[in-house]
Structure 1
Amino acid sequence: MKLLKFLFLSVIVIATGANAQESENARQMGHTDQNKFRQMKDLLATPNESRTASGAPGYAYTQQKVNYVMDIRLDEANNRIYGEEKITYHNNSKDHLEYLWLQLDQNMRAKNSKTPDITTETFNAPFNGPQVFTNANLKDRFDGGFKIEYVKNDDGTDLSHHINQTMMRINLSKPLAPGEVFKFQIKWWYNINDINVDGGRSGLETFPDGNNNYTIAQFYPRLCVYDNVEGWQNMQFWGRSEFALEFGDFEVKITVPADHILEATGDLQNPKDVLTREQQKRFNQARKSFTDPVFIVTQEEAEINEKGRSTKTKTWHFKADQVRDFAFASSRKYIWDAMAVNINGRAVMAISLYPKEGNPLWEEHSTRVVANTLEEYSKLTFDYPYSKAVSVHSERQGMEYPMICFNYGRPNPDGSYDERTKRGMIGVITHEIGHNFFPMIVNSDERQWTWMDEGLNSFVETLAELDYDPNFFTGNLPKDIVPYMGGDQSHISPIMSQGDYVHQFGPNAYTKPAAGLYMLRHTIMGPELFDYAFRTYSQRWMFKHPTPADFFRTMEDASAMDLDWFWRGWFYTTDYTDIGVKEVKQYYLTDQPTERAMKIAELYNMNLEDYKDRLVYYAEAEDGTVPNDAKSVEDFDVLNNYLESLPDEERSKLVKAPKHFYQVTYEKPGGLVMPIIVELTYEDGSKEREMYPAQIWRYNEHEVTKVYRTDKAITRIVVDPDLETADVDTTNNAWPKQVQKSEFDKFKDKVRG
C-alpha cells in the first residue's frame, strides 16, 4: 500500500509541474467570481428594517390604506358609466407626502391617448378582410377615457390636480404628515368600450338580440401604491402590464336597469331590495349545497328576462373590507348558479353568471371549477379569506379582480364544443379565480414584476387543474416550454424584466416562471420542503406588498436550501438547459499489468512481478464489453485476503464487490446548471434512478464524471428520462447514442406539418 501511495503522489507532482506556467498565467490575469453558485448579493436589495434578510416584513414595514365610497350609474341607453367617489387616504408611511397619484386607466382609450402611437404598424389589413381593413383605416377612434367633471376637497372646494395621460397628480396644499388622513372627492363619466370591437380588459359585449353583457372594471380613479421600495408606483399604463394598488374598504352603490342581475366585489347589503323572494330562497339553499350548484336564475327564466327592457332601475349595495380593487358585472341575460365550498370548516360561496350562449359548458363546469380552485389554492397557501368567488362569462375575456373575474370559453351556437374549448374554459376560470390569491391578497406590483402574480398563479393553477382532471394539459410543465427556451435569443427576455418591453410576454411571465416553480417542487426541493416554504411566503405577505427578493429569500429561509443558482439562472438570464452523456468508459478487473501500470513501473524502475501478490489492476473495455477472460472479483486472492484481514466491524460495513465498473462523463452545453437525473437500464431489463444535485457542477460547469459499480451490466443510460428540466436537446441524453429528434425539433416539425 505504501508503494501505491508513492506512485499516486508522484503522478500529482508531475502534473503540478506541467501546469505550473498555466497557473502562473492565471494568477497574472485574475478574474471575478462567475461561478454559477455565487450568491445573489449583487442582485438583491440590501435587507433593512422594512424587509428582512429572511424575506419577511420587518418591524418598520408600513403600507398605505385607501377607502372608497362610490355611487355608480350604468346608463344602458348610451353605454356610459357615471360615478362619484369619496376617497379617504391614510398616510401610514413615515414620509411627508407632497402630492398623491391616482391611476386613470380608461385614459389609454382616450382620443388623445399615446398608447396607439407606441405600436409598430404594417399596411396589411386588406389581406385580412374588409372588417379588419375598415377598423384599421376607416373607423374613427373610440371616444374613451375619463371625463373628469370635478376634483374637490372634502369641504367641496376645488382641489388642484394635473393629468398626465393615465396618471393624475393631486396637489396638496401642505404635505400630508405621517399618520394623517386626507379626504377628497371626484366626479366623472366615460363611454364604455365594446370589448369585441375596441378591445380592453373590461367593457361590454353586444349580442344580436340587442342585449349587452357589462363586465366593468378600472371604472374609477384609484390610488397608486406608495411604498418603501418604489416610492410612488406611477408608471404609465400602456395596456399590458397590470396594476399596483393599495388595500382598503369599499362601499359601492350601483344603479342598473331593474331587470338586470348583478354581481360585484364584496357582500350584498340589500338582497331584499334587488332579489325576488324565490331568488333569496334559492341562494340560501345554495349556501348549504356543497356537492352541486343550485340555480338562483335558471336558463328558462333568463331567456324570458332577456326579451324585456325595463325602464325602471334598481340600486345594488355592496361592502368589501380589505380589498385592493372593485369590479362588477351586470346583464339581464344572466343565468345564475352557486354552491358552497368548505374551506377548513368555513363555507365560501362559488358563483357563476353566464348568458345562455355559454351553455351547456358553463353550467356543467364553471362553478365546480371555482370550488376546486378555492380548495386547492387554500391547501398550498392560506385559507381563502373572502366570502365568495364569482366567475362571469364573456366571450373574449380573461381578467381578474377581488372576488370576481371575467372568463371566456364559449360553445358553438348549437351548444357543441370540442375538448380544446372545454380545456380553455376550465383553464381560464382556474387561473382567474386563482388570482384572488396572487395578487389580490399577496399583493405584488404587477406593473413592475408581471411574473410575481401571473407566474406564481400559473404554477398553482397547474396543480389545481391536475387535481380537477389528472389528464389535463396545462402547458406549464418544464417539457412544455422547451420550444421557447431553445428559441431565438434575440426574442427572449429574462423573467426579471418589466412587462412592457419583454419579448414573448406569455412564456416570459406565465409559463417559464410556472415551469420553474414546478421544477423546484417536483425535482429540486421536493413537495414537502417546497410546500412549507411556499406557504410561508404566502402567509407572510397576505395583504401586503412583496418584492421578488422577499419571495426568493423566504423560499430559502424556510427550506434551508441555497437556491441562488436557480434564481440567478432561471429568472435573471435566458440561459437554457442542455445536459447529456458525453462518454462512457467500461472497466474490468484483471491480474495482469495494464499498459498504464507498466509505463508507471518503467518510469520508476519497478519490477511488477515483485508486487504480484499485492496489486489488482483494472483495464478499459475498448469496445464497451467485458472480455470473456476478465477476472471476477472472487478470483483475486490479494483482495480477498485484505478484506479478510479487516476487523469484523469494518468488514460488516462493506458490500459485495461489483463485477462491472462504468465511468460516465456528463456534459453541459447549456448555460443553466441543473440536477442530473439518470435512469440506468440493466441487462435483465430492470431500471434504477439516480439524481445528483445541481451542485455537482460547482467546480466544473462543463463536464463531470460519475462511476457506477454494479453486478449487472448496464445496457442503457438516459439523462432526464421524464423531461423534468426543460432540456432543449435530447439527442445527447442517451447512451448508447440513438438517432432521435430533440423535443424542440419535434415541436418544429409539428408546427410545419
Structure 2
Amino acid sequence: MKNKSLYQKSRILLFFFLAFTGISVAQVVENNQGEFSEFMNRTGNRYRSASGLPGPDYWQNRVDYKIKAALDDQAHTLTGQITINYTNNSPDALPFIWLYLEQNRFTENSRGTLTTPIGGNRYVGDTDGGYEITNLQAKNGRNTSTKHIITDTRMQVWFNEPIKANGGTASVSMDFKYKVPEKGMDRMGRLEVEDGTIYAMAQWYPRAAVYDDIEGWNVEPYLGAGEFYLEYGNFDYEITAPYNHIVVGSGQLINATQVMSTTMRDRMDRAKESNETVYIVKPEEVNDTSIRAKQSGTLTWHFTMENSRDVAFASSKAFIWDAAKIDLPSGKKALAQSVYPKESVGSHAWSRSTEYSKQAIENYSNRWYEYPYPVATNVAADIGGMEYPGLNFCRWTSTGAGLWGVTDHEFGHNWFPMIVGSNERRYAWMDEGFNTFINYYSTLDFGEYPAGLNKTRNMTGWFNSDTREGIDTYPDVTNLRNLGMTAYRKPAIGLLLLREYILGPERFDNAFKSYIKTWAYKHPQPADFFNHIENVGGENLSWFFKNWFYGTGNIDLAIESVRQNEEKTAFIVTVANKGGVPMPVKMKITYRDGTSEEKILPVEIWQRGDTWSFLLETDVLPTSIEIDPDKVLPDVNPSNDAWPGPNFYQD
C-alpha cells in the first residue's frame, strides 16, 4: 500500500465507484470449487498413510540374485546360470511368482515387435534373439517344481506349495542363453569399433516382477517406451569374458587382484584419492596385452551390490578406462569411472566423462540425498542414454553440452527410480520428470552449459497443440512425439512451478528431500508423492496436481482491466483465469515515481469464479502491471499478461 492514510477514504470512494459501475462488491459470481476438489483417492490405509508415509503395515517383497554368466565375443552370446531367492513379505501366500524375460522382446513375434510401426521408432530392436531356458527348478522347502509358463516377455513359475505369507522364502534357478542383440531398443546391445566390440548388457538376466499392495502382480509386457519396476535385494554376479576385455558393472568389483594387473591396481588406488581423472588403461595401452592380468584365455570379474533393484554391465577389449574419487557429504568416498573407445577421446568428448560423472553425483548428493553405491560408471555405447543402478550407457559420439547433459541425466536416475523405486512402466513421469527437474539445478550449479527448463514459454507451442496428451498417459500408449513432454518436461516444469512459484524453495526442498528419504528403496505411488508434498509443504495442492498432472488444461492468466477512482487514490484491478489450470497471481506493479512492488493474490480467488477484482490503494499512479514478471509460468497467451497503463498525468 503506497499510502495507508488514504485507506478509509479510498474504501468509501471505491464502494460508490463499484456501485455506479455495476461491479459486485461481494465478488461472488460463480463457484469453481470443482477445480479444487480431490481428483483421486488419497485416503490412508494401513499400508500407505494419508500423510504420504508408508503405513504401519507397509510391506514389499525382496529378491536376491546369484548369477554366473559367460560372454562369447565370437558368437555374440551370453550364457548363464541364475538362482533367485524370493522372500514373500506380503500378507498373501503366493502359489507362483512372475519373472520378466525381456530378451524375448527381440523375437519376430514378440508383442513389442508387432506393436512397432513399420517405419520403426527409437525402440526398434533385433528380431533374431530371445531366451533359451533350461533346467528350471522352483524350490519351496523340500519340494521342487519345474512347472512354468512363458508368455512373451514374462514367465510364470509355479511352486508345489505356496510361498508362505509374512516372510516365507523360496528359490528359482535356471540356465539361460541368448544372442546379444546389436540393436537393443536403445537400452542395450553391441557396437563395433576399430579395436573390438562394445557389449552394453542390460535386461540381461531373468528378473522378478513386483508384487505390491496396489496391483498385486505387475506384469505389463516389455514393449518399448515403458521401462521397469523391480524389487530390491542383494546381487552377487560373475561375468566371464575374454582375457583382453575390461568388464565394468553395477556395484563393487571384489576380485580386482585376479582381473587387474598390478599396474592397473596401482593406478586405481591413485584414482580413489584423486579429484583429477587418472587413467587405469591409457589410450595407447588398449591393445597392449602386457597391461592385462592374463595374456590368454578368459577372466571372471566378480561384482556384488547391496540393496539394489537391478544390475548392468559392459565388456570390451576396446575400452580406455579412467577414474576419480567422489566426495560425499557424510565424508565417505565413492569412485567415478568411465570406459570408452579411442573414437570417443577428446577434450570436449569422453575424456571429460569422469569429470562430469563426479560433478553430477556430488551435486545430487549434496542437494537431495547421498549417493549410496560404491562406484558410478559411465559407459560409451551405441545408446542415446540409459540408466541402471550405478552405471549408465551414453552415446559414444556425444560431446560438449550433449555429453554433459546425457551423463548428468542418466546419473540423476540413480535417485529416480533407483533409490526411490517408482513404477517406470506405468508412471514414467515419476522418474523421467523428477530427474529432468533435478538435472536443471545440477546444470545451473555446474555453470558451463545452459539450463533451459525455466524457459517455459518456449514450449507453449506444444501446450497449445490439439494432439497434446496428459502426463498420466502410460508411456507405451503415449504418442512418441509427445513423450518428451508428458514424461520429461511437463512434470519437471510442474516441480519447477512448485519450487519457484507456488511453495518457494525452502518449503519445496524440505518436502522433496523428505519424499526421497521416506521412500528410499521403497515403492511410492503417485498418491504417496502428492500426499507427502502437501503434508510436508503445508499446502493443499489438489488444484495443481489435478490439473497439471492429470489433465491437459493450460495456464492463461490475464489482466482484464484497471480502473481508477475519481480522486486518483485507488485502482480496481480485475484479473482473469482464462486457462484450465488455476494459479496464484504474482504481479509486479511499477509506479510513476519509479518505484515498484510485488502483489500476490492467492490461488483461492479462483474458487469464487474465473475473474477477480482487488483494490490497489495508492496515491502514486501505476504505469504498468505485469503478471509473472519472472516468466516462470508457461502461460500460453502472454499478450494479456501486462497492462501498460495510460498517461494519467499530462506534463
TM-score with structure 2 length normalisation?
0.90
1:439 counterpart SS class: helix
Larger proportion of strand: 2
Residue equivalent to 2:191: 205
Pair 1:192 & 2:180 matched: yes
Cα distance in 1 for residues equivalent to 2:383 and 2:116: 22
- Measured in 1, the distance between the counterparts of 2:457 and 2:263 equals 51
Q: Deviations over 1:287-342 (max 9, x none)?
A: 111x3111111112126569999751100001111110010011111111111121
Distance (whole Å) between structure 2 residues aligned to residue 239 and residue 391 of structure 1:
23
Deviations 1:435-463 (A, max 9, x none): 11111111001111111111111111111
Whether the aligned pair in 1 keeps the contact of 2:138 and 2:159 (CA below 8 Å) is no
Show the counterpart of 2:602. Answer: 693
Contact 1:400 1:406 survives alignment (8 Å) = yes
Q: What do residues 5-32 of structure 1 show as CA deviations (whole Å, max 9, x unaligned)?
A: 9x979x99xx999x9xx99xx9xxxx9x
Residues 210 and 282 (structure 1 numbering): CA distance in 2 closer, same or farther, change over 3 Å?
closer
Shift of 1:474: 3.6
Other-structure match for 2:4: none
**Identity in percent:** 36
Opposite residue 297 of structure 1, the aligned amino acid is V
1:299 equivalent in alignment to 2:207: no
Partner residue, 2:552: 574
1:283 aligns with 2:268: yes
Q: What residue is the counterpart of 1:593 in the other structure? A: none
Q: Tell me the residue number matched to 1:367.
A: 354
1:210, distance to aligned residue in structure 2 (A): 6.2
CA gap 1:424/1:363 in 2 versus in 1, 3 angstroms: closer
Deviation at 1:366, TM superposition (A): 1.4
Give, in whole Å, the separation in 1 of the partners of 2:442 and 2:370. 15
One-letter amino acid matched to 2:172: F
Residues 473-506 of structure 1 show CA distances to partners (whole Å, capped at 9, x for unaligned) of 3446533432221212xx2222122221123111
Deviations for 1:410-434, whole angstroms, at most 9, x for unmatched residues?
Answer: 26xxxxxxxxx42121111111111
Q: What are structure 1's unaligned runs of at least 5 residues?
A: 412-420, 590-658, 739-753
CA shift at 1:557, angstroms?
0.8
1:525-604 paired onto structure 2 within 5 Å: 525-589=503-567
What residue number does 1:396 align with? Answer: 383
1:649-668 aligned at under 5 Å gives the runs 660-668=569-577
Question: Is contact 1:305–1:332 with CA below 8 Å preserved after alignment?
Answer: no
Kindly provide the CA deviation profile for residues 696-752 of structure 1, in whole angstroms up to 9, marking residues without a partner as x: 32211x2112332334322222222222111011111122389xxxxxxxxxxxxxx
Partner of 2:342 in structure 1?
356
CA–CA distance in 2 between the matches of 1:176 and 1:315? 34
Given the alignment of the two structures, is residue 717 of structure 1 paired with residue 630 of structure 2, yes or no? no
The match for 2:424 among 432, 440, 446 is 446
What does 1:112-131 align with in structure 2 at a 5 Å threshold? 112-121=109-118
The secondary structure found in structure 1 opposite 2:436 is helix
- Contact persistence 2:308–2:418 (CA under 8 A): yes
1:229 maps to a residue whose letter is I
**Greater C-alpha Rg:** 1
Q: Secondary structure at the match of 2:540?
A: coil
Match of 1:51 in 2: 48
Corresponding residue SS for 1:259: coil
For 2:475, the equivalent position in structure 1 comes to 499
> What is the match of residue 429 of structure 1?
407
How far apart are 1:353 and its partner, in Å? 1.2
Partner of 1:80: 77
**Structure 1 CA distance for aligned equivalents of residues 15 and 285 of structure 2:** 90
Does the CA contact (< 8 Å) of 1:409 and 1:424 recur in 2? no
Instruction: Tell me whether 1:328 sits opposite 2:313 in the alignment.
Output: yes
- Tell me by how many angstroms 1:151 deviates: 1.2
Identify which of structures 1 and 2 has the higher relative contact order when contacts are C-alpha pairs closer than 8 Å and 6+ apart: 2
SS of corresponding position for 1:664: strand
Cα RMSD, aligned residues only = 3.2
The amino acid across from 1:530 in the alignment is: F
What is the CA-CA distance between 1:162 and the residue it aligns to?
Answer: 0.2
1-structure distance, mates of 2:645, 2:599: 19
Shift of 1:239: 1.6
Measured in 2, the distance between the counterparts of 1:120 and 1:317 equals 40
Matched residue pairs, number? 627
* Alignment deviations for residues 370-390 of structure 1 (CA, whole Å, 9 cap, x no partner): 122222212332211111111
Give the equivalent residue in structure 2 for 1:36: 35
Partner letter of residue 497 of structure 1?
T
Give me the whole-angstrom Cα distance separating, in 1, the residues matched to 2:449 and 2:268: 33
Matched, 1:408 2:405: no
Q: Distance in 2 between matches of 1:287 and 1:47?
A: 46
Please tell me whether the aligned partners of residues 65 and 82 of structure 2 are also in contact (alpha carbons under 8 angstroms): yes
* Residue 62 (1) aligns with residue 46 (2): no
Structure 2: stretches of 5+ with no match in the other structure: 1-7, 647-651
The 1-side partners of 2:314 and 2:339 are apart by: 9
Hey, what's the Cα distance between the residues in 2 that align with 1:72 and 1:665? 69
Are 2:169 and 1:149 aligned? Answer: no
Q: Is the 8 A contact 2:189 2:382 kept in 1?
A: no
TM-score (norm 1): 0.78
Residue 237 of structure 1 and its aligned partner are, at CA, apart by 1.1
**Separation in 2 of the partners of 1:444 and 1:663?**
48
Paired residue for 2:218?
Answer: 233
In structure 2, C-alpha distance between the alignment counterparts of 1:499 and 1:668, rounded to whole Å: 31
Q: Deviations over 1:178-223 (max 9, x none)?
A: 121111211111111113xx6441011112x361111101011110
2:34 is paired with a residue whose SS is coil
Q: Is the 8 A contact 2:138 2:158 kept in 1?
A: no
CA distance in 2, matches of 1:74, 1:470: 40
SS at match of 2:97: strand
- Correspondence for 2:640 among 718, 727, 732: 732
Give the conservation status (yes or no) of the 8 Å contact 1:681–1:714. Answer: yes
Report deviation, 1:88.
0.7
Secondary structure in 1 matching 2:414: coil
Task: Work out the CA distance in 2 between the residues paired with 1:520 and 1:306.
Answer: 56
Partner residue, 1:520: 498
* 8 Å Cα contact 1:194/1:206 also seen in 2: no
Task: Quote how far apart the aligned CAs of 1:570 are.
Answer: 0.5
CA distance in 2, matches of 1:166, 1:660: 72
Map of 1:252 onto structure 2: 237
Contact 1:478 1:516 in 2 (8 A): no
Q: 1:74 to 1:375 in 2, by over 3 A?
A: same
CA distance in 2, matches of 1:224, 1:53: 27
Deviations 1:674-702, CA, capped at 9 Å, x for gaps: 121212233344433333232232211x2
User: In 2 relative to 1, CA 532–470 (structure 1 residues): closer, same or farther, beyond 3 Å?
Assistant: farther
One-letter amino acid matched to 1:442: V
Counterpart CA distance in 2 for 1:48 and 1:241 is: 29
Structure 2 Cα separation of the partners of residues 172 and 461 of structure 1: 45
Bigger CA drift: 235-244 or 685-694?
685-694
**Matching residue of 1:672:** 581
* Residues in 1 aligned to 2:219 and 2:485: alpha-carbon distance in whole angstroms: 26
State whether residues 583 and 665 of structure 1, in contact with CA within 8 Å, keep that contact through their aligned partners in structure 2. yes
Q: Please tell me the residue identity of whatever aligns with 1:236.
A: P
Indicate conservation of the 8 Å contact 1:150/1:158, yes or no.
no
Alignment-mate amino acid for residue 376 of structure 2: A
Q: How far, CA to CA, are the matches of 1:546 and 1:378 in structure 2?
A: 21
